[in-house]
Amino acid sequence: MRKLFLSAFIACLALFLLSGPVLAGSTMDRIEKTGKIKLGFREGSIPFAYIDPKVGKHVGFSVDMAGLLAENLSKRFGKKIEIEPFTVTVKTRIPMVVNGTVDVEMGSTTYTAKREEVADFSLIFFFSETTFLVPKDSGIKTLADLNGKRIGAARGSTNLQAIEKLVKEGKFKPADILVVETHPQGMLALKSGKIDVYSTDRSLLEGLRMKDKNPDKWTTVDFAIAYEPYAYIVRENDSDFRDFVNNTIVWSIKTGKFFELYEKWMGPKGVVPIKMSQAYKDYLQMIVYPISDGWWKKK
Partner 1 sequence: MGLTYEFDWGVLWRYPYGMWLLKGLGLTIAIGMAAWIIALALGILIGTLRITRYRLLRWFGTAYVEVLRNIPLLVQLFFWFYAGPMLFGETLSRKINHISGLNIWVSIIGIGLYTASRVAEHVRAGFASIGRDQYQAVLSTGMTQIQMYRYVIIPYALRLIIPPLTTEFLTVFKNTSIAMTIGVAELTFQSYQIDADTFHGLEATTGAMFIYLILGITVVKFMNIVEKKYKIQGLVGR
The span from the CA of 258 to the CA of 88, in Å, is 24
For residues 266 and 47, the answer to whether their CB atoms sit within 8 Å is: yes
| Residues making contact with partner 1 (CB under 8 A) | 1, 4, 8, 12, 16, 20-21, 23, 25-26, 91, 94-95, 98, 114-115, 117-118, 150, 155-156, 160-161, 175-176, 178-181, 188-189, 192-194, 235-238
For residues 245 and 122, the answer to whether their CB atoms sit within 8 Å is: yes
Distance in Å, CB of 99 to partner 1, minimum: 8
Which residue from 103, 126, 98 is spatially nearest to 40, judged by alpha carbons?
Answer: 103
| CB closer to partner 1, 8 vs 144 | 8
Q: Phi then psi for 107, rounded to 5 degrees?
A: -150, -110
For residues 87 and 43, the answer to whether their CB atoms sit within 8 Å is: yes
Distance in Å, CB of 46 to partner 1, minimum: 20
| CB closer to partner 1, 117 vs 293 | 117
Distance in Å, CB of 268 to partner 1, minimum: 34
Distance in Å, CB of 18 to partner 1, minimum: 12
| CB closer to partner 1, 20 vs 256 | 20
The sign of the dihedral angle between the CA atoms of 277, 282, 287, 293 is: positive
Which residue from 14, 22, 200 is spatially nearest to 107, judged by alpha carbons?
Answer: 200
| CB closer to partner 1, 25 vs 139 | 25
Distance in Å, CB of 166 to partner 1, minimum: 16
The span from the CA of 251 to the CA of 291, in Å, is 7
| CB closer to partner 1, 142 vs 239 | 239
